[in-house]
Amino acid sequence: MTTTTSRLLLPYLPPELRNEVYSYLSKHDANSTTSMAQFLPSPLKHYECKHTSVKITPVHYGCTSLLALQEHHFLEGHEYYTWLKNNALEIQISIVFRHRVNTFAQADWNRKIESHLRKLLKQHEWLSKVARYDVLIHWEPSDGMLRSRKKKATGQIPRDMVKTLTMLMDEKVKREHGCVKVKLLLAHRIAVEHVLHGTKFGLGWFAMALSDDDIKEVVTEAWKTQHLVVTRHGVLGSISALVPEKIGKISASKNGYGREIAVGAGHLLMKKTFRANEVVGAVWGDAQIEGSSGPDPILFQMIEDCLGK
């Protein structure tokens, strides 16, 4: 029987300072990149339902080079693996809604997803300790602007989906460390159909707090995809915002409340931050688009919808 002696990378640092190093290496900022948590069993789950496609992926922003030192029997590599698993994982969830809104039954969808999540938790109990969620919902139903069943505001559907998906998180983790970020990306044609037919998507409902969940912090964002146009040369282009940036690169004003111009892959309609179910920050999109002399009617109506008007 052979034994392997652990090697030391930071032999003179006590455990507390090594944890500080691990924390620094795992910070999530504007320049950090995600890595799929491939060191964990079953890192990706994909669920297909009649109306939706759901992907659940654990990711981290840590140092893959330090993780690789496990293979060379460095103590710090193993320590960092344990620290990362317990402190710095994020669950990224992608939901694509492409079927008919007026045939969608929220209760049935909840039951199916909850069943999948319970099985997932039995296999991987560590998932309940992950405190950070990043949810992206692509909304492009086949029946356009039709309302959901029982005259329920359509905006309640993505909101209720998020409530169901966060059942993975332990209740204590929710209260003390929970941070859920949700981006709703509304297809341009859906926004146009709602405005032309005088109907409301219910973005005000989507932007409400998850009232029966004690998540420490929730950030909700509503976006409209860019309008693709064909130029006289036959080239696809898009109607740009005044300041082009990548989606999600939003800077809030100093006091938490203010206006922001829409960004790159779409137009920002609204961003709200909740703590303890109270609004602590709100940013509204700009209805003005590049090259126009007045507010864009589609953006204007969608922002009004965010305000519940």
What per-residue confidence (pLDDT) applies to 290? 63
Q: How far is CA 269 from CA 87, 95, 204, 285, 287, in A?
A: 33, 19, 11, 4, 8
Question: What is the pLDDT confidence band of residue 307, given thresholds at 50, 70 and 90?
Answer: confident
What per-residue confidence (pLDDT) applies to 59? 87
Q: Regarding predicted confidence, which is higher, 282 or 2?
A: 282
Q: Domain ranges in the chain?
A: 36-306
| Residue 262 predicted with pLDDT over 90 | no
Say if residue 241 is exposed, middle or buried (CB neighbours under 10 Å; 0-12, 13-18, 19+): buried
> Residues 252-260: what's their mean pLDDT?
36
Q: Which of 45-59, 145-159, 188-202, 225-239 has the lowest mean pLDDT?
A: 225-239
What per-residue confidence (pLDDT) applies to 264? 41
CA atoms within 13 A on the CB side of 181: 8
> Residues 143-159: what's their mean pLDDT?
77
| Residue 40 predicted with pLDDT over 80 | no
Nearest partner of 180 among 195, 193, 163, 196, judged by Cα: 163
Tell me the two tokens of residue 167: 């059942």
What per-residue confidence (pLDDT) applies to 184? 94
- Please report the sign of the dihedral spanned by the C-alpha atoms of residue 295, residue 297, residue 302, residue 307: positive
> Residues 116-121: what's their mean pLDDT?
92
Tell me the two tokens of residue 151: 């005259």
* Mode of pairing for the β-strands spanning 278-284 and 45-48: unpaired
Say whether 244 sits in a helix, a strand or coil. Answer: coil
Say whether 33 sits in a helix, a strand or coil. Answer: coil
Task: Count CB neighbours of 307 within 10 A.
Answer: 11
What per-residue confidence (pLDDT) applies to 109? 95
Nearest partner of 94 among 130, 59, 42, 64, judged by Cα: 59
> Residues 232-244: what's their mean pLDDT?
39
